[in-house]
Amino acid sequence: MNAITEIYQTIEHLLDSKITAYQIEKDTGISRAKIGRLKNGKNNLDNLSLETAGKLYEYAKAHLN
């Protein structure tokens, strides 16, 4: 598995988890609206900035599994 695929899958796992958009916002500083749009499929992971993807990936690694 390449690194990009791992990052995408990890972020998707976070978005599908029971962790609320509010909790992710509180812990990462990423807006709840953006997280909600990602959770609902209105925004695509391909359009995330590297900064946002990095924050979500690191948060997921720390809070899942």
CA distances from 15 to 30, 37, 42 (A): 13, 10, 13
Mean per-residue pLDDT, 55-59: 97
Residues 24, 59 contacting (CB under 8 angstroms): yes
Q: pLDDT at position 54, please?
A: 96
> Model pTM?
0.92
pLDDT tens-digit profile of 39-53? 999 999 999 999 999
Question: Is residue 65 pLDDT above 80, yes or no?
Answer: no
Mean per-residue pLDDT, 23-41: 96
Mean per-residue pLDDT, 51-64: 97
